[in-house]
Amino acid sequence: MDWARAEAWLNELIAAYVSLGWAGSFGLHLTLLPLKQRLDAGERTQDLYDAIMDCE
């Protein structure tokens, strides 16, 4: 698992959702921020990696 790549991808997605303004806030708060919190807390599981890389 390439955690640097996963973190970069997640940060790219967060930036894209933020740029959508109010419309992106739903997906951001429901999906992406919980993944970011898990990553920032030090979790490094296959489940988290797959969840991040499967996001679009």
pLDDT score at 50? 98
pLDDT score at 27? 85
Parent domain of 25: 3-54
| 10-37 tens-digit pLDDT | 999 999 999 999 989 988 999 999 999 9
Which sign does the torsion angle of CA 42, 54, 9, 17 carry? negative
- Burial grade of 37 (CB within 10 A; 0-12, 13-18, 19 or more): exposed
Question: How many domains does the chain divide into?
Answer: 1
